Each structure stands twice: as structure tokens, then as C-alpha cells.
Structure 1
Amino acid sequence: MMMRAAVGLWVLSAVICVGSFIPSNNWPNSVSLVNEANQRFSFRLYRKLAADADSQGKNIFFSPFCVSTALAALSVGAQGETHRQLFSGLAFSSSLTQTDVDQAFQTFLQRANNTSQEDTSEGTAVFVDNGFKPKPEFLQTLKQSYFTDGFNVDFSQATESADTINKYVEEKTNGKIDKLVENLDPNTVLYLISYIYYKGKWATPFHPKLTKQDDFNVDKNTKVQVLMMNLEDSFNTYHDLMLNTMVLQLPFTGSYSMLLMLPDAMATLEFTLGPNRVIKWLQWMRPRRYNIYIPKFSIKTSYNLNDVLSEMGMTDMFGERANFRCISEEQGLAVSEVVHQATLDVDEIGATAAAATGIGIVTTAIWDPVPVLKFNRPFMVIIIERNTEEILFMGKIINPTI
């Protein structure tokens, strides 16, 4: 039986909420198409994660842009049906070529890393075994379009190789993700990593003296104690009557915002939510003074995306039918696993999120002129760039204490 060479795909994203994507007024049509596809992919991936048995009763948090960056970079090396499945799974239209996609991600990453805002870093890296020789064209495209750092390692020395990868990830995510790789497949010849680190400060910070212990209702039968932050100010909000969901926009000092969604029925929101609805919210929001309460929390998530991506149609890359002839003519090259880790920290100053993928009740008092908006039960969160509607991170907070 033929020995299979393993390709590891890891997507890393770290967010501390500071903007990175630039307005898209002058984007070519193909770049706009890829941007729209990334938005569709974000919600498809979220729904798959939310429906997964391992996610039931747990917080969900991930970086869809980070995952799509890793998979787009992988598609550079794919051919035939493997390539078609990757493009279809990523929601790329049939009119888009590999060159279109490469140029689009080059635009996204170039403008992201040229931003004047601090504490933001996005990019990719490839770790290649000393005995494996990828095609120069593959490595050149990764370097030019995906700003890929390249490293040679000896994957037969599994512990040392894992340490090398983990140290790189830890540095790029400012320590937010320090142990991405634990068990390396002994047949690994290449690891492809995509990372994002993002840190931002609230445009209007919360005052720490107003943070108090309060109840958070995980479900009808479960309450947990959380530190609840409090702020009274004018906020852009929208009440989606169709979904019975209150949407709050909390801007950061840059061009990014956090959208917090408080639904009456979480399942209804999750099933219906998509790019067009988010755009509608942003367009229809109006400023109103609110007294808001949001839990202070820190969460970390980890996902093996093999099954989820297979359910999204990207099956061949994991098995004997994988075709990565644009990486190497070597027989038997396949993806061993796609792993994603993400973290989110929210406090009075701002929010910090990091992700790595390898490959409350609304109450109003009639006599009170300032209504209360309290996120004291499960809610959804999206970190979005206001000009391009690019979704950097999204998730669902079921329990802020886990």
C-alpha cells in the first residue's frame, strides 16, 4: 500500500479588535466577488459548527477569514476535482480563476498589514520537511499573494518540529495561542498556517468601577455569576422584529465594530442570519441612548474541521483522491487535518481575539427615559469592518465563564 504524505493545514487567528481591512471603493470586480464569497462562507461555516454535536452547549468562536485564507492558499496547490471542491466550498463563483483569488487575498492582506493601526497582524506560513521539495511556482505564489513565511524543518523530529511551529504561532498571536500543534502525523511533509492577531480599544471604554457581579442565564435552569460591565451612552442599535433580535453596535477606535445580537430564540437567529441581513442592520441602525450591560469574559475554542469541511463538499483533499500536483508531482499527497483555534477576551478597555486554523433580556422601564439593554443570556457576536462588511470573527456566547 502506498505511503501517504501528510499536509497539515492550520488556521490561526488572534483578535484584540483593531481594524485591518481597508474600504473597497476602488476594488476590481473580482476582488469584490471574493469578498462577497468570504461573507457567504462565514455563515455557512458558522451553521455547520453550530449544528455539530461537539458544539452543543458550548461557546462558538472562530475567524472565518482566517479559515478561508488558509484554504485559498491550499487551493494554489490543488488541481482537478480537489481544486473544484475547494472553490465550491469557499463559495467562489465559477467565473473566478485561481489568479483572481490570489490577487484578491493579496489585496486583503496587503492593505491589512499596511494599516496605521497598532496591534494587528495577518499572514500565512509554510513549514516544509527537509526531504520534500515543493514546486517553486507554488512557493512563489504563496509568498507573493499570501505573504507566506517559509521554513524548513525535520518532521521526523516530531517534538522539535511542533515546538518550532508553536513558537512561531505564539509570537504571531502575541502569546494568545501558544500550543497549536500537539501530535504531528509522522508522514507530515508540509504545514500551512494562516494567522490573525487583532487588538482594539472601545471608542467609548467602560468604567471599571461600574463593573459588578451579576447573573448570566445560561438556560432556563442554569445561572452563573459573571462580572457585568456597564455603560450609558448613545449607541447604534436595530431591533429586528422578524427575528425578535436586538442588535447593538460597539465601535472600536478604528474602522472595526463588534456587533452583539440578543435574540429571543437563538436557533431562529442562527438559521436565518446571513450577509444580507447584517448589511441591512448596518444600514438601518439609528443612534439611541441606552444603559447597556455586557459580561466581561475570556474564552478559547479549538476545532478539528475535517468533518465540517467534508460536509461542505471539500472531501477529496483528505483521502486517496486528493490532487495536489501543483504542490508536487509526488504521489499520495493529502491533507491530514485542518485545525482551528481562536480566543476572545472582552474587558472594559476593548476586545482581544486570536484564532489559528491549521489547515440577556431586553428590559425597558416606562418611567425611565434611558432604556436598559442587558446581555445576561446567550448572545451572538461578530467583529466586522464597517466599510467592507468583512467579517473577521464571529461566534456565540452560551456561557461567559467557560
Structure 2
Amino acid sequence: MRAERMSPLLALGLLVAGLCSSVHCLPENVTPEEPHKGASVDDHSLASSNTDFAFSLYKQLALENPNKNVIFSPLSISIALGFLSLGARGSTLTEILEGLKFNLTETPETEIHQGFQHLLQTLNQPSNQLQLSVGNAMFVQEELKLLDKFIEDAQVLYASGAFSTNFKDPKVAKRLINDYVKNKTQGKIEDLFKDLDPLTKVILVNYIYFKGR
């Protein structure tokens, strides 16, 4: 496909062809009000914020790794952190979304989530030219109970699942996570984790499967 014919969304989507990232964190069980309405954030605004975030993160990573190649997926990270912010509030929520380069005085939190929802739906649409599947999963220590509303919004807005996991049995937990990622990546990533700490409480993973002509 010639570059001048490539849509902005597809160009943005190709940024996810980097690697699978994992984030270890513990969210609060809070979700925004009325998250299921149509997206209000236009594609250009979302792409602009993600581009600013990508260059900001690249600059930091490049400074920490001088004279080395730096490969990462900015869209994967922003989607994962956007999903994580569903369970945050107060200063934590503000820091996550502002860190993703969103202007919260201009763009309400609910519109940000709706923008990611629209982007994910567009990227994951079937195509004759390529196969692209992007999503997240949260694995939570079984003593910690997530609200049903959080689980629902995670699936609807971010195509993400949240699963009760027994990290006190690291072998079982590792197999659960690795099998999930293996299935979502058509067997391309078999062992995302080699070992797990039995004290782990939450693991957030982002996965990408990309196959194009």
C-alpha cells in the first residue's frame, strides 16, 4: 500500500507492531459515569495526544539508553494505561491521563475512554489486507474483588478482560497468563513470563497480533 493512501488510523495502528508490554499495578475499583455512549474524541485528537506521548517517552528512553536502539509500542502503552486509569481516581487518575498527554480541561475523562474504544474497534475490524488484534488483560490476586462495573467497562471500552488469579501458586498463575497471551497472539508469544513473584497482586498485560501482506 502506498503511503499517501494509508489512512491516519492505519498509520497509527502500525505503531503497535512493536512488542508486548507488562505493567504491574493495583487499580482502585472506580469507573467513569455513562461510558457507553458514542465516542466524542475525534481520531485526530487521539492520534495527536498519542504522538506527543510517543515522542516524550522515546526521548526519555533514548536518554536512559544512549548509543542503543530503542524499540517500543507507544500505542500499546497508552491503551494499557488508559485501561488502567478506569480504576483510578484523584491525583493518580490525573497523573496517568496527563502523562498520556491529554489536556483534561479540554477533554473529559469519559471522552478519552470513548476515544480509545472507537480506536480499538477500528483497529480490530477484519480486513483483507491485514490481521490486527490489540487488547489488554488484568490478572488480579483472588482475594481482591473487582467491581462488576469495572469488568464490564474494561470489556466494552478497551476489549480487555479481568481475571481472578492465585499468584500464591506462581506456576498456575504463570500458565494462566502465558496461555491467555499465546491464544491472543495466535501462538506467536508463548512465554511472556518465565517466573512470577508469589507476592504479586496485579499484572496488566497488553498484547498485539499483527499479520499483513
Cα separation, 1, equivalents of 2:171 and 2:79: 27
Question: Which among 141, 161, 164 is matched to residue 129 of structure 1?
Answer: 141
Indicate which of 105, 124, 139 corresponds to 2:116.
105
Task: Output the CA distance in 2 between the equivalents of 1:158 and 1:137.
Answer: 28
Please list, as runs of the form range in 1=range in 2, the aligned pairs for 1:48-59 lying within 5 A after superposition: 48-52=60-64, 55-59=65-69
Asked if structure 2 preserves the Cα contact closer than 8 Å seen for 1:128 and 1:153, the reply is yes
Give the letter for the 2:72 counterpart: F
Name the TM-score, length of structure 2 as normaliser: 0.74
1:63 deviation in Å? 0.8
Structure with bigger helix share is 2
Confirm whether residue 81 of structure 1 aligns to residue 91 of structure 2: yes
Classify 1:119/1:101 alpha carbon distance in 2 versus 1 (closer, same or farther; 3 Å).
Answer: same
Specify which of 176, 191, 194 is matched with residue 164 of structure 1.
Answer: 176
Choose from 148, 158, 165 the match for 1:153. 165
Residue 38 (structure 1) aligned with residue 61 (structure 2): no
Which amino acid counterpart does residue 73 of structure 2 have in structure 1?
A: S
Question: 1:130 deviation in Å?
Answer: 2.2
Q: AA paired with 1:101? A: I
Deviation readout 1:159-214 (Å, 9 max, x if unpaired): 2201211122223223433322233333323222221221222xxxxxxxxxxxxx
1-structure distance, mates of 2:171, 2:121 = 33
Q: Secondary structure at the match of 1:197?
A: strand
Q: Residue in 2 aligned with 1:70?
A: 80
Cα displacement (A) at 1:147? 1.0
* Alignment partner, residue 12 of structure 2: none
Q: Measure the CA separation in 2 of the matches of 1:56 and 1:141.
A: 40
Shift of 1:57: 3.5
Aligned residue number for residue 120 of structure 1:
132
Larger radius of gyration: 1
Deviations 1:197-240 (A, max 9, x none): 21222xxxxxxxxxxxxxxxxxxxxxxxxxxxxxxxxxxxxxxx
Report the counterpart of residue 200 of structure 1 in structure 2.
212
Contact 1:169 1:177 in 2 (8 A): yes
- The CA deviation at 1:29 is 4.4
The 3-state SS of whatever aligns with 2:138 is strand
Name the structure 1 match of 2:186.
Answer: 174
Mapped to 2, the partners of 1:188 and 1:99 lie a distance apart of: 30
The equivalent residue for 1:143 is: 155
1:79 is matched by which residue type in structure 2? R
2:103 aligns with 93
C-alpha distance 15-61 of structure 1, shift in aligned 2 (>3 A): closer
Q: Quick one: structure 1 residues 195 and 137, their matched pair in 2 at CA, closer, same or farther if it must change by over 3 Å?
A: same
**Distance in 2 of aligned mates of 1:125 and 1:50:** 28
Contact 1:15 / 1:197 at 8 angstroms: preserved in 2? no
Distance, in Å, in 1 between the alignment partners of 2:164 and 2:172 is: 12
Measured on the aligned residues, the alpha-carbon RMSD in Å equals 2.2
How far off is 1:28 after superposition?
4.3
Name the CA distance, whole Å, in 1 between partners of 2:208 and 2:123: 10
- 3-state DSSP of counterpart to 2:206: strand
The CA distance in 1 between the partners of 2:191 and 2:68, in whole Å, is 21
Instruction: Kindly state the Cα deviation for residue 15 of structure 1 after the two structures are TM-superposed.
Output: 5.8
- Report the residue type matching 1:103 in the other structure: Q
- Amino acid corresponding to residue 88 of structure 1 in structure 2: E
Secondary structure at the counterpart of residue 119 of structure 2: helix
Normalising by structure 1, we get a TM-score of 0.41
Runs of 4+, deviation exceeding 6 Å: none
SS at match of 1:127: strand
- The one of 185, 189, 199 equivalent to 2:201 is 189
Structure 2: distance between partners of 1:98 and 1:45: 22
